[in-house]
Structure 1
Amino acid sequence: MMDAKTIRKTFLEFFKSKGHEIVPSAPLVVKNDPTLMFTNAGMNQFKDYFLGNKTAEAPRVADTQKCLRVSGKHNDLEEVGIDTYHHTMFEMLGNWSFGDYFKKDAIDWAWELLTEVYKLPKDRLYVTVFEGDAGDGLEMDQEAADFWKVHIDEDRIIPASKKDNFWEMGDQGPCGPCSEIHIDLRSDEERAKVSGKSLVNEDDPLVVEIWNLVFMQFNRKADGSLETLPAQHVDTGMGFERLAMAIQGKESNYDTDVFQPMIQDLAKKSGKTYGTDEKTDIAIRVISDHIRAITFAIADGQLPSNNKAGYVIRRILRRAVRYGYTFLGFEKAFMYELVDILSDQFDEIFPEVVNQKEFIKKVVRQEEENFLRTLDNGLKIIEKFMADNAATKEIKGAEAFSLSDTYGFPLDLTELIARENGYGVDIEGYNKAMQEQKERARAASASDKGDWITVNEDDVQFIGYDNLTSDAKILRYREVSEKKKTYFQLVLDNTPFYPEGGGQVGDTGLIFSGEEKIPVKNTVKENDLIIHIVDKLPSDLEKEVKCEVNAKKRTLSMANHSATHLMHAALKEVLGDHVAQKGSLVNDKLLRFDFSHFAKMTDEEIRKVEQIVNEKIRENIVLDERRNMPIEDAKAMGATALFGEKYGDFVRVICFDPEYSIELCGGTHVQSTGNIGLFKITAETAVAAGVRRIEAITSVAAEQYVDEQEKLLASVKELLKNPKDLTKAIADLMDERTKLSKEVETLRNKELQALKDNLVGQVDAKDGVNVLIAKIAVPNAQGLKQLAFDLKAKVDNLFFVAAAEVDGKPQVAVMISDNLVEEKGLNAGQIVRELAKEIKGGGGGQPFFATAGGKDITGLDAVVAKAQEII
């Protein structure tokens, strides 16, 4: 029986024999694509080829792609663990043709691989073809059906609807009919009773789709109409986990060697036996699935957090922790230990897990421990809510919102727990509680993009490494409406404007068209397309334009970017080789660098990093830049590649001394380190579990910083009469201040004691109540409180009201003996609120003691008079 590693290897070797180039998986976390948060299909990294923005370097490629489906259109989260064939993170085996072969070869090779190489039984396979759609004016895909007839009986070819057999990238973009391959894994007895044909696409756990062959023929325009693509493509995706189930003769993905090592480890740790209890089994499956998604997301640079992609990862992790806590009895962190198993499983195909294993484990462990601290309380709150709503069997929306807001329980986790106990959740009420916040977020992010309007056909070239100006022609443009504003996106045939990426912000500058001067507000990258953001278009779009980058901002950004490379190398030297970049920001004002490290840097470590970087700056090391270098040669040089980045076959290498700093980088850099001028770290803080952040400045900003510090130091010296030893002078001043503060405190205590003794003599006994109402002055609010409690301890049956001037402001305090509160129903909080009206203020407190502040100090006499009326 083939193991999982052999199944994957066989797929890649098969398509390599068919002339396909084997390419690495794109990162799980998507960059430079505003339409996606995570890679959810194998084709994501090839979108530009389908869109025509870029020409494929190889017309045939194959790979295994890490995918994540937990939100949006593709959301399998609720099925994970409940059934046996859905997953959050999964591998998608795929082969692609970019304008090369089409339906016949795709179908022939799929059949050959499944039946002749993997030896899957032909009588258990079914295929579907697109049946056509009147709304789109499309007929049945008879071409695909005819190619299938060569291999499979016609009664096993099933026409299927647009919903199941027409693939679209999104609301707009390339699309086309598809043909799915399904396998019937039921026993011979079950197959004899019911035909597998009737169970295709009916969610039967043993009649499942394993491969989808997509034939990209059309482009969906913004108005919904279809146009034929100039080149036709093939995009296939086969679920690796389902394929393993079919080849290994299992009835569940979780019974394959993809999941069994983790499942058995979890069962052993929890003292359970997998396969004996449904709830326990679901919990083990959920955890085994979720830890894969969490591990690969962290390996690709996405840390758990409270927003966007980070929040999705945190939700998945907390969902798994809750299953372990409730059903497996794990009250301490446990999932992080499963990373070791994953590391062994993927060492040959996804080395990013192996290389960051310890870092991933520490992040997962801290996230587990943080959530476990609140989980027990949160579960008790849910139990209370269910008890309170036993009659309706529905948790109120506001209650579900409070669980999310206070205890970090995502709504889907609350729904899950409620469903397990036969309850529902008032989703409408929850949404109402979130409505204002969601509306603001939606308004902030909403955008409406029109179709691209093509002006000229040509390739896009970036020339900004060597030039800050260029003459260019407009290739295409589109109008975008966002946040009630309209702007335009321009694409040029060549551009010196650097598009935002690799942490470096996009260039700004000007585009000249004749006498027109059009500011470029930003430059961004969408997939591989360089887009210039402008408020208006040139009046003549056919006319050649002149581009001019803001040279000052670019120069300062380059200094900060090169300093980031020098600092990265210095951090490794000072802290250790475990340091790895986890995020960065580079602009003309500062650099910000996130890196893996598990302790706050000491002052000495920070000084050492600064010292090393400034030494490298003074050495004036000349930049050794190598463009279009084969990636294997770059790796052989020892170039640092960043986890979570997608690199092609040819890369750009930035080297400042081959013995010191070599990195793969697409950003802009100084020609020699001396151009950086000066480097200064301004902050070192924590970002997340195992991640620290440094902020630093260079060049002009660093000079200004030093100048400001010198001015500040000069001012301090002048204030202290220019002492010879400034440190000693400040220490002496602080000692003197401490001594004087103690003396002042002693004097204030004496004054309060004298005031207390004086007030005791003014007590007026009325009907068993010792009334003391006075207008006084005290140094601070703490003194007023202390006076009230001292009087309470000294005088029985006390009713005390102080109309006090505290540091020039009016304040009222009411103190009532406990027995008067109980016997006579007096309430200091209610009384002080009434008295506060006289000083135009408000306050409150407990029944025996309350305070209030106000704005009108002239009302203190009125406070005294009203207090006497009240008592």
Structure 2
Amino acid sequence: MTVKEDFINLPFFVENGWVKKTCPVCGRVFWTLNPEREKCGDQPCEPYSFIGQKVGVSVDSISEVRRMFIDFFEKRGHTSVRRYPVVARWREDVYLVGASIYDFQPWVTEGLVPPPANPLVISQPSIRLTDVDNVGKTSRHLTGFEMMAHHAFNFPGVNIYWANETVEFAYELFTRVYGVKPEEITFIYDMWSGGGNAGEDYEVIVRGLEVATLVFMHYKTDESGGLIPISNRIVDTGYGLERIYWLLTGAYNVYEAVFPEIVEYLRVQSGLERPQEEIMSKVARASGSLDYKKPLEALATLSNIAQSVGMSVNELKRYLEPYEAIYAIADHTRTLMWMIGDGIVPSNTGAGYLARLLIRRSLRYMRKLGLEMKLSDIIAKQIEKWRNDFPEYSEVQEDILDIIDYEEERFRETVARGEKVIEEIIKDSLDKGVKEIPGDTLLKLYESHGIPPEFLEERAAQRGLTVNTVGFYSKLAELKGRSAQAFKEAVRMQIDPSLVQGFPPTRKLYYENEKLFEFTAKVVGIIDGKYLVLDQTAFYPEGGGQLADTGYLEFDGRRCEVVHVLKVGDVILHEVRGELPAVGSTLRGVVNISRRLNLMRHHTATHVILGALRKVLGKHVWQAGALKTEDYVRFDFTHHKPITPEQAQQIELLANRVVWENRRVVKRFIGRTEAEQKYGFTLYQGGVVPEKVLRVVEIEGWDAEACGGMHVDNTGEIGLIKIVGFEKIQDGVVRVVFKAGEPALRYVQSRDFLVSALKELLKAPEETLVEKVAELMSRVDHLEKEVKRLKEQTLIGSLQQTVAPALTIGETEVYLIDSADAEPREVATTLGRLKPNAVVVVYGKDGKIAIKVGDRALSTYDARDIGRKLCEKLGGRGGGVRDLFQGRVDDVANLRKVLADVFGA
């Protein structure tokens, strides 16, 4: 038989009376114990038949369903593994965990490291936003869900179990544990791929609902989607916790099953009646066919439902909309609990972008429902609801709610600012005669201004314009959901890896003794006439945010300078200046001690500072970039708010206490899986480390990270940490600059010198310096205002006496003025105040122009239109607002003539 036939004709089916059929609707092969069954049972082949029905055993909670699953597999030799964070810190290709197998890709699935247990069972919170536009509208879609799974990793020489046993496990679980009747189960054969792997699979269907997928991974996928067989055979299963609970309860939809308390709370707060049983049941049974990313098909399904309940499609839509909003909020707020609680800070990039998307969708739905509450109030209820399942979120509740509140406040400000942008888009569309506002405008509105397209949709509809928002968020999530390959720090000179092939790995003496500053080595090669390859070295190569060592090499009474060191694969290259030693010769290497010690102090101080940041600001703080130099450290981290002076002082004090406590700094090499289990995923604060064995740097009782950099042996060696300052560098990312050791002391001394100099200049004691400077600034501000007032009076007097209009168009006077030494804008705005019925055009010798339209003339003229026409005819560019245009033209000499043409005079 072929591989396909082997997977289809499993002994479990063949030997136990199962009937193999082909579905007449979808054409897929499926197995059933009901010989009368014709269709496979999947959607949209059959409607849901479990709504309002008693299916299987009675369960008290969703937690019980999870416990039953884990107990079943533990009794069958599986080790229970704690869930991973929903942020995939250990991977470069994705931001969020979308399935339980993500936890083990690529390291375990490729056989590079052992799994945490084999076989194992897990219930993994997972997030998928590619169907976000369907959430709340269909009965089944969620952005966040728990994927219960059992995994077996079959490696060469290690055989756990494979397809036949996996299918049998599924059958036993659903029939013996969950009480589903055997004849109600179908197994549909198919193919699956994801995360770079692929394999045959079986979808498990019960009364129309897909409740599990059983994947047998034994392929890798290439860039074109082709299948490449691999020696590892991995059982990758996914059982939908929420779907199984929904099945066992027979609720209208998954939201009513999983979030009944949240749904009821939002319904009452919204002033909604309970939904009508007949309508909701009919929607639920047919909802498997609903997919709002396929609007025509969804409309056809809604039309059938509407007809069956005696409503028009529009009436049905209006009836369902408030309930759909409630369902979406219930889903989104739990997903946000997971995302924010696991360390995501909303921002304009990466996983933070996706969190912000869900926050703004939730706020949009709340506004639609007229809910007078904070989004954080709902998330607080989610944290309470899931307290027993996820107690870790109760520990960081204050941080979660603070981040959500801050985002909501910013969103309200964004919406207020966006009113003007929306009006401009609508006006521009009407001026151009456009009936439908295009999708790229919606994307720009959201990306550049943070305004959800529904805000534009509402306003546009009032003006006879249409906006197509179908699938907008799903497309956005798909576009932003995959990580670009992680940033790799560039070395000064890129080296072709093929040039180091054939060289043995360089022995890394700097790891054996970080305070080894002199060594002997043998020259094994020279590349490009300036890169030395040695058999061993104490020179640290640039990487991990730390600069390379410098120093010199001595040989045969001569010497060359080491100016840079880089690592290519396992080979370390020394860039040198001066005469080169011969290949095969022995030399003495000397590392710049002062530079190395400063780099070591700064690198360890970075770990100390990170720990202090997380202690003071919260566990959402993650490294977002770092540069450790000889003189300072520039460290970027995720945080949603500006740092207050009090927080800055507390962080600095806490960091220095760790220095004074002289804690041990332990460096050890540990297998990847063991390190993750011992320290968790904060190991990857510095980013993904693509190694089977991790070098873990642990400051005892404070911080542990996978790090290849140079570190002191005890924190006391750092001496002193001095924070220079904090600044926000982008949305959701703050930068701290600090110094350690001698550079820190020199910085403090320089501050003392400045204070002494100020005391001398101001003739004041130190404690009154701030007061004296404030007094001087107040005086300067008063004098500057007085000077500005006098200049304006002089300018007004001069203009009133010498300026005459260049043109008169009806009641509007057009002035053309040479600004001389003044700024064109200053002259234009001053005369514009004096002449409210005028258009003032001011130019300078350098081609600068400013156009001011007086208040009364605004009903007839737009400064932007005038400026655009002038720039088209005279060459140049500019921009502005309705009453003021600024720019530059190439041909000032013809300005008067062209101005007359523009005004038709």
TM-score calculated relative to the size of structure 1: 0.64
Question: Partner amino acid for 1:352?
Answer: E
Q: Secondary structure at the match of 1:237?
A: strand
Give, in whole Å, the separation in 1 of the partners of 2:670 and 2:877: 71
Give, in whole Å, the separation in 2 of the partners of 1:673 and 1:813: 60
Q: CA deviation at 1:88?
A: 1.3
What is the aligned partner in structure 2 of residue 138 from structure 1? Answer: none
User: CA, structure 1 residues 663+235, in 2 after alignment: closer, same or farther (shift >3 Å)?
Assistant: same
Task: Choose which of 380, 405, 408 in structure 2 pairs with 1:340.
Answer: 380
Give, in whole Å, the separation in 1 of the partners of 2:883 and 2:676: 76
* Structure possessing the higher relative contact order (Cα contacts under 8 Å, 6 or more residues apart): 2
Task: Choose which of 181, 194, 197 in structure 2 pairs with 1:169.
Answer: 194
Q: Secondary structure at the match of 2:109?
A: helix
What is the aligned partner in structure 2 of residue 66 from structure 1? Answer: 125
Q: CA deviation at 1:55?
A: 2.2
What is the aligned partner in structure 1 of residue 401 from structure 2? Answer: 361
What is the aligned partner in structure 2 of residue 192 from structure 1? Answer: none
Counterparts of 1:120-199 in structure 2, within 5 Å, are: 120-129=180-189, 165-170=190-195, 172=196, 174-184=197-207
Task: Choose which of 628, 635, 654 in structure 2 pairs with 1:592.
Answer: 635
What is the aligned partner in structure 2 of residue 7 from structure 1? Answer: 65
Q: How many residues align?
A: 724
Q: Secondary structure at the match of 2:139?
A: coil
Contact 1:304 1:313 in 2 (8 A): yes
Counterparts of 1:755-766 in structure 2, within 5 Å, are: 755=798, 759=802
Give, in whole Å, the separation in 2 of the partners of 1:281 and 1:800: 56
Contact 2:406 2:640 in 1 (8 A): no
User: CA, structure 1 residues 520+54, in 2 after alignment: closer, same or farther (shift >3 Å)?
Assistant: farther
1:119 matched to 2:161: no
1:28 matched to 2:51: no
Q: Secondary structure at the match of 2:77?
A: coil
User: CA, structure 1 residues 218+624, in 2 after alignment: closer, same or farther (shift >3 Å)?
Assistant: closer
Q: Secondary structure at the match of 2:628?
A: coil
Give, in whole Å, the separation in 1 of the partners of 2:364 and 2:883: 44
Report Cα offsets for 1:533-575 as digits up to 9, x if no partner. Answer: 999xxxxxxxxxxxx99999986565344324433565678x5
What is the aligned partner in structure 1 of residue 15 from structure 2? Answer: none
Q: Secondary structure at the match of 1:665?
A: strand
Q: CA deviation at 1:702?
A: 3.8
Q: Secondary structure at the match of 1:50?
A: coil
User: CA, structure 1 residues 429+316, in 2 after alignment: closer, same or farther (shift >3 Å)?
Assistant: closer
User: CA, structure 1 residues 831+782, in 2 after alignment: closer, same or farther (shift >3 Å)?
Assistant: closer
Q: CA deviation at 1:239?
A: 0.6
User: CA, structure 1 residues 656+305, in 2 after alignment: closer, same or farther (shift >3 Å)?
Assistant: closer
Task: Choose which of 1, 4, 19 in structure 1 pairs with 2:77.
Answer: 19
Give, in whole Å, the separation in 2 of the partners of 1:182 and 1:18: 23
User: CA, structure 1 residues 54+740, in 2 after alignment: closer, same or farther (shift >3 Å)?
Assistant: closer
Give, in whole Å, the separation in 2 of the partners of 1:101 and 1:168: 20
Contact 1:394 1:426 in 2 (8 A): no
What is the aligned partner in structure 1 of residue 271 from structure 2? Answer: 271
Q: Which moved more, 1:376-385 or 1:284-293?
A: 376-385
What is the aligned partner in structure 2 of residue 350 from structure 1? Answer: 390
Give, in whole Å, the separation in 2 of the partners of 1:412 and 1:735: 47
Task: Choose which of 601, 609, 620 in structure 1 pairs with 2:644.
Answer: 601
Task: Choose which of 275, 278, 295 in structure 1 pairs with 2:337.
Answer: 295
Give, in whole Å, the separation in 2 of the partners of 1:217 and 1:638: 29
Give, in whole Å, the separation in 1 of the partners of 2:397 and 2:778: 51
Q: CA deviation at 1:97?
A: 1.0
Q: CA deviation at 1:76?
A: 2.6
Task: Choose which of 339, 345, 350 in structure 2 pairs with 1:308.
Answer: 350
Give, in whole Å, the separation in 2 of the partners of 1:176 and 1:426: 35
Q: CA deviation at 1:584?
A: 4.8
Contact 2:812 2:839 in 1 (8 A): yes
Q: Secondary structure at the match of 1:33?
A: coil
Task: Choose which of 408, 416, 428 in structure 1 pairs with 2:450.
Answer: 408
Output the aligned Cα RMSD: 6.7
Counterparts of 1:352-751 in structure 2, within 5 Å, are: 352-372=392-412, 394-397=436-439, 399-405=441-447, 407-409=449-451, 425=468, 466=512, 505=545, 558-567=600-609, 570=612, 581-589=621-629, 590-592=633-635, 594=637, 600-602=643-645, 605-614=647-656, 616-618=658-660, 620-623=662-665, 661-667=701-707, 669-685=711-727, 694-699=736-741, 702=744, 705=747, 727=769, 737=780, 741=784, 744=787, 748=791, 751=794
Contact 2:539 2:549 in 1 (8 A): no
User: CA, structure 1 residues 704+255, in 2 after alignment: closer, same or farther (shift >3 Å)?
Assistant: same
Q: CA deviation at 1:465?
A: 5.8
User: CA, structure 1 residues 555+418, in 2 after alignment: closer, same or farther (shift >3 Å)?
Assistant: farther
Contact 2:185 2:205 in 1 (8 A): yes
User: CA, structure 1 residues 755+840, in 2 after alignment: closer, same or farther (shift >3 Å)?
Assistant: farther
Q: CA deviation at 1:252?
A: 2.5
User: CA, structure 1 residues 554+586, in 2 after alignment: closer, same or farther (shift >3 Å)?
Assistant: farther
Give, in whole Å, the separation in 2 of the partners of 1:771 and 1:225: 70
Question: Partner amino acid for 1:592?
Answer: F
What is the aligned partner in structure 2 of residue 54 from structure 1? Answer: 113
Q: Secondary structure at the match of 1:65?
A: strand
Q: CA deviation at 1:241?
A: 0.7
Give, in whole Å, the separation in 1 of the partners of 2:612 and 2:750: 26
1:82 matched to 2:123: no
Give, in whole Å, the separation in 1 of the partners of 2:820 and 2:637: 53
What is the aligned partner in structure 1 of residue 585 from structure 2? Answer: none
Contact 1:508 1:549 in 2 (8 A): no
The alignment-based identity, stated in percent, is: 24
Q: Secondary structure at the match of 1:35?
A: coil
Q: CA deviation at 1:357?
A: 1.9
Question: Partner amino acid for 2:185?
Answer: L
What is the aligned partner in structure 2 of residue 104 from structure 1? Answer: 164
Question: Partner amino acid for 1:329?
Answer: G
Contact 2:858 2:883 in 1 (8 A): no
Q: CA deviation at 1:321?
A: 2.7
What is the aligned partner in structure 2 of residue 539 from structure 1? Answer: none
Question: Partner amino acid for 1:50?
Answer: T
User: CA, structure 1 residues 678+853, in 2 after alignment: closer, same or farther (shift >3 Å)?
Assistant: same
Q: Secondary structure at the match of 1:234?
A: strand
1:329 matched to 2:329: no
Contact 1:651 1:664 in 2 (8 A): no
Structure 2 unaligned blocks of 5 or more:
1-57, 155-159, 277-318, 474-479, 489-497, 521-537, 551-561, 575-588
Q: CA deviation at 1:835?
A: 11
Give, in whole Å, the separation in 2 of the partners of 1:701 and 1:386: 57
Contact 1:102 1:234 in 2 (8 A): yes
Q: CA deviation at 1:84?
A: 1.1
Q: Secondary structure at the match of 2:84?
A: coil
Contact 2:113 2:673 in 1 (8 A): no
Counterparts of 1:218-233 in structure 2, within 5 Å, are: 218-220=219-221, 226=227, 228-233=229-234
Contact 1:27 1:644 in 2 (8 A): no
Q: CA deviation at 1:237?
A: 0.9
What is the aligned partner in structure 2 of residue 433 from structure 1? Answer: none
Contact 1:398 1:429 in 2 (8 A): no
Q: Which moved more, 1:45-54 or 1:350-359?
A: 350-359
Report Cα offsets for 1:413-444 as digits up to 9, x if no partner. Answer: 989999999967499999xxxxxx99xx99x9
Q: CA deviation at 1:22?
A: 0.9
User: CA, structure 1 residues 814+403, in 2 after alignment: closer, same or farther (shift >3 Å)?
Assistant: closer
Q: CA deviation at 1:235?
A: 1.5
Contact 1:43 1:235 in 2 (8 A): yes
What is the aligned partner in structure 2 of residue 541 from structure 1? Answer: none
Give, in whole Å, the separation in 2 of the partners of 1:78 and 1:836: 44
